[in-house]
Amino acid sequence: MSECSTWRAFSKAARSKMDVLQAFDKGMAMPLHQLKSYRHHSGLVPNAEDLGTAWYSGEHNLGLALARGKQHGHTVYVSRQQPGGTHHHASYPSIEALYQHAKDDHHLFEVIASSHGGAKLFFDFDFTRDDFGPDELQAKPRHIRDRIKAVFCQHLNVALKDEDICMADSSVGNKCSYHVVIDGVYAHHLADIKHLAQCLFPADEAQWARMNGAKADSIADTKVYSRNQHFRALYQTKNTPGAGTKRPLGSAHAEPCIESFRRFWITHTAGCVPINQLKLDAYLAKSIKDKPKAFQQLTIPQTYQPQATVLPTSCSVQESFMAL
């Protein structure tokens, strides 16, 4: 693979992995001699052509993958988990190009790069079967969906249908694991989604505090909103023995589907609308100020009719952009 002198990602002073990524965010240029230095420690992974793109390993491999993607106009950033938990990184021009290889399990994770303009709202739930009875376990997906629909209806003026709330299941053995992605609505900042998770699913709700430990601030995992977060892709497993495959809830034996893969891809925001920031800020402020009242069980009024802007037919979410 030929080198190119127009890589744009790094500052001349970048030395550590964090410096590399911060420089990438600023769109700085990297001199060829320094690029070669980083390549000495972070090289191309041999024999990766079967996945259709260049993969990088080593200390600065994420920064190099982000740089290559920016250079070539790629919008999809991916990691491939290795035995022991380390990751190789790459970029693809489109979800369709990635999906040709993601139909099979290669332990792939989406990289929610900080350079993206936004991310679909997403939540991660992990708990053990010992925490709840069989009836409670069966009701958990419905509880999660109802909670999201109620809060979005009453506080954000967004009318969600069940099919807008995509749920994936990778439960195995005694561990239950659900990933939730709201297809059709996105936020500009991961911090907003984290705060929304804390308010939607507070740890002090009855019988839920055990899920992430007594000191957790939410029953949802709030550690998944960090910078350049890795989030497991649909139809993939972690590269650990006995790991469960992430599949759409209720479709354990269904064939892989590119439409489902696209809906679960968090940074695929084409056709989505931004969440109303004024209403989101008001809801978050109210939840923090008046925590007990804000966390009461909510119900959707039967008479609710949002003053809606109808989205493209591929998405049934309706949202009002009216000011508070």
Convert the pLDDT of each residue in 268-293 to its tens digit: 999 999 999 999 999 888 887 655 44
Q: How far apart are CA 47 and CA 193, in angstroms?
A: 38
- Give me the number of domains the chain comprises: 2
Distances (CA, A) of 309 to 16, 188, 275, 318: 46, 19, 12, 6
Q: pLDDT tens, 110-127?
A: 999 877 889 999 999 988
Q: The domain containing residue 220 runs over which residues?
A: 119-225+244-319
Same domain, 160 and 73: no
- What values do phi and psi take at 59, rounded to 5? -60, -40
Same domain, 130 and 181: yes
Whose structure tokens read 């002198």?
Answer: 5
Say if 239 falls within a structural domain.
Answer: no
pLDDT of residue 249: 92
Task: Work out the average pLDDT over 156-180.
Answer: 92
State the Rg of the chain over Cα.
Answer: 21
Of 49, 76, 93, which residue sits at a domain end? 93
Same domain, 194 and 135: yes
Q: pLDDT tens, 21-57?
A: 555 444 444 444 454 554 444 556 655 545 888 898 8
Same domain, 139 and 216: yes
Please, what is the average pLDDT of the chain?
A: 76
Same domain, 304 and 185: yes
pLDDT of residue 305: 43
Same domain, 175 and 269: yes
Q: How far apart are CA 203 and CA 185, in angstroms?
A: 25
Q: How far apart are CA 238 and CA 107, in angstroms?
A: 5
> Please, which pLDDT band fits residue 231 given cuts at 50, 70 and 90?
very high
> Please, which pLDDT band fits residue 296 given cuts at 50, 70 and 90?
very low
Say if 276 falls within a structural domain.
Answer: yes
CA 46 centroid distance within chain:
29
pLDDT of residue 319: 35
pLDDT of residue 225: 94
